[in-house]
Amino acid sequence: MRVHIDYNSSEPIYRQAVEQIKLMVVSGQLREGDRIPSIRELARELAINPTTAAKVYTELEHAGVLTLRQGQGAFIRKNPSLVAPKAVRKIVADQAQRMIVEGLRLGLDGGTIQGIVGEELGRIAKGRS
């Protein structure tokens, strides 16, 4: 697992790591059952504060991306089964709404926003195959 952190970005370190690991899961680089580094290993590898590394795992566990097994480490879960399918739709719709509002507010039109979504989907799907 290769995570790249820009330490001096305005984006918090934990959030950069969370987004990259989520992307690795949806693009198939990480699969269900894969063991990923422990909090301490991640802190060492990225040379970051252990509290920050712990935050990465709390976020991912909360999002249903991984499970922490005592003494064994962290493992990727396949589907976030904690969430009902209906709720999943709502989560994604809420995110989409936020993105669309932001895009329109900054002056993009609907077609352009749709185009961007298509391109990003294509990029992720390419990593997946």
Chain residues binding another protein by CB under 8 A are: 7-15, 40, 43-44, 47-52, 55, 98, 105-107
Q: Smallest distance, Å, CB 81 to another protein?
A: 28
Which C-beta is closer to another protein: that of 36 or that of 48? 48
Q: CA dist 120 to 20, 26, 36, 45, 50, Å?
A: 14, 12, 26, 29, 32
Q: Smallest distance, Å, CB 14 to another protein?
A: 5
Q: Smallest distance, Å, CB 50 to another protein?
A: 5
Which C-beta is closer to another protein: that of 107 or that of 111? 107
Helices within 63-105 (DSSP H only) = 85-105
Does residue 82 sit in helix, strand or coil?
coil
Which C-beta is closer to another protein: that of 30 or that of 48? 48
Q: CA dist 37 to 58, 105, 116, Å?
A: 14, 40, 33
